[in-house]
Structure 1
């Protein structure tokens, strides 16, 4: 029997449950944003949150903080510029660097998304103890560490 003949029970795989839960969160947010009249994706909301915390981030820093590659972030930011959520400006000292800023529309949109995020958090954490939440976060962090420490194998 070689490695391709090994059967894996994907229903008992951590990856299957992480993936399906992630899709459920994405779908919930998409529907909730639409119901509130927000033209916003989860990815755009994450960018708005990072800029709300630290407006004027360098575009490459924003890519790192949002776990996106530079080209996919550039496409996302272009879409957000068309929606007038953000603006990009050349850095005063290094013309090769773009800084990303929230616009007033972006600030308002972020503030309108907050109750939806709080509501989702309450739904997800219902009937789950603080200790279970801590343990889940710790486990997911270890899974992420395991993945990032093995990524070099594929390069």
Structure 2
């Protein structure tokens, strides 16, 4: 086998830039949350956002909405319960179903993330034209559709 058959130029790969940018965003949020005294991860903030918008979601639906598998979401929710950000309760009609509710502490914590998120959005979009942002988001949506289509064929 020829070396050129297995070498891929990762520096020009879209995946490399998506991944490294996502990691930078994660790191920024982690540092910003800590500097504001918030004991919160990006993943926990996403869960709080979904519950802030629609409290009492079924746990499986929350897994779908946050793009997490059921077991990793269960572990995340257990951590969030220990921090008193959320409560899980059995559904009154179907005991096999858990509903997830945001607590007042969770709601307050989520509200404290808003200025951090606004600041990050401003940093990310600085010196980028509105039409470029529109094009980028459409390109990323197309990439997601391509991956979803490919996963459906696996």
Same fold (TM over 0.5): yes
Question: Is the partner of 1:135 in helix, strand or coil?
Answer: helix
Q: Tell me what 1:6 maps to.
A: 6
Matches for 1:115-134 after TM superposition, within 5 Å: 115-134=115-134
Structure 2 residues not aligned, in runs of 5+:
none
Return the alpha-carbon distance in structure 2 between the equivalents of residues 129 and 58 of structure 1: 39
Q: Give 1:91 shift.
A: 0.7
- Per-residue deviation, residues 22-50 of structure 1 (Å, max 9, x unmatched): 00000000000000000000000000000
Q: Give 1:6 shift.
A: 3.4
Q: Tell me what 1:152 maps to.
A: 152
Q: Give 1:98 shift.
A: 0.4
Return the alpha-carbon distance in structure 2 between the equivalents of residues 97 and 2 of structure 1: 54
Q: Is residue 52 of structure 2 the alignment partner of residue 48 of structure 1?
A: no
Return the alpha-carbon distance in structure 2 between the equivalents of residues 142 and 3 of structure 1: 31
Q: Tell me what 1:66 maps to.
A: 66
Question: Is the partner of 1:32 in helix, strand or coil?
Answer: helix
Return the alpha-carbon distance in structure 1 between the equivalents of residues 100 and 4 of structure 2: 47
Structure 1 residues not aligned, in runs of 5+:
none
Question: Is the partner of 2:89 in helix, strand or coil?
Answer: strand
Return the alpha-carbon distance in structure 2 between the equivalents of residues 6 and 70 of structure 1: 35
Structure 1 runs of 4+ aligned residues shifted over 4 Å read 1-4
Q: Tell me what 2:139 maps to.
A: 139
Number of equivalences: 154
Question: Is the partner of 1:18 in helix, strand or coil?
Answer: helix
TM-score calculated relative to the size of structure 1: 0.96
Q: Tell me what 1:25 maps to.
A: 25
Q: Is residue 109 of structure 2 the alignment partner of residue 109 of structure 1?
A: yes
Q: Tell me what 1:78 maps to.
A: 78
Q: Give 1:152 shift.
A: 3.1
Return the alpha-carbon distance in structure 2 between the equivalents of residues 142 and 98 of structure 1: 34
Q: Give 1:3 shift.
A: 9.5
